[in-house]
Amino acid sequence: MNPIVEALLLRSAVLFLMLGSLAGLVVGALLLWFPQRLRAVSSLLNRWISTRHLDQTLDRVVEIDPWFYRHHRTSAWLILLASAYIIYSFTVGLNRTNTVIGLSRYFHLPEGLAGGLLDAMVLSALLGALFSAFVSLFLLLRPSMLRDFEQGANRWVSLRRGLKPLEIGRAGVDEYIFKYGRQAGILLVLGSLYTLTLLTFWFSHYR
């Protein structure tokens, strides 16, 4: 990475952490002296945002298999041509030496590592292209033989069950903090002052 860009990113991260320390200092002070105001702000910000409408959008079935079976010859030829192009590009059309040198210079990697990553990418692309060519031949000659495989592979996986834990409100942390507001405020103020002092010292000496 460019040293100038790296220095800018590091300074931005330090400034971000300093702002976070200032925010922690303000929240700790509110917990110590004005807990009611912080509770009012917390109740205003703690609005429940449901992801159920996102689940409904993602849980819709999009069936494209009938189109492939209806136009199986056209689909097969397109897939076969694309597979042949990929195989040609990653075998005959690929100059491995120049590609490794270019990747090594662009990503600042050792040539051995760049060569290994390139070989892994080429192998993955070739295996995918060979599998696609195999499927295209079935579509072209015997599309009915793919129906059993397609019915077994097209298992519906609903996201609603996986995202259900996100739909449960958890207010225990806020209640615990407000129950021990003075102790939490003291710890938050001390921690914020400590990190703010360290970051300010670093920022003033390493500019």
Burial class (CB in 10 A: 0-12, 13-18, 19+), 31: buried
Cα 139 to chain centroid distance, Å, stands at 35
Helix axes 96-107, 111-141, angle to 10 degrees: 120
Task: Count CB-CB contacts under 10 A for residue 99.
Answer: 14
Decide: 10 and 203 in contact? Cβ < 8 Å.
no
pLDDT confidence of residue 169: 66
d(CA 187, CA 177): 11
Residue 123: what pLDDT?
94
What's the pLDDT score for residue 28?
87
Spans of the chain below 70 pLDDT: 1-2, 5, 45, 49-62, 147-153, 156-173, 206-207
Question: Which pLDDT value is given to residue 201?
Answer: 84
Q: What is the spatial distance between Cα 181 and Cα 202, in angstroms, rounded to a whole number?
A: 31
- The pLDDT score that the predictor gives to residue 76 is 87
State residue 199's pLDDT score. 86
Q: pLDDT (tens digit, 9 = 90+) per residue, 64-108?
A: 777 777 787 888 899 999 999 999 999 888 898 899 898 888 888
Show me where the domains of the chain are located.
Answer: 1-48+181-207, 64-168
196 and 25 Cβ atoms separated by less than 8 Å: yes
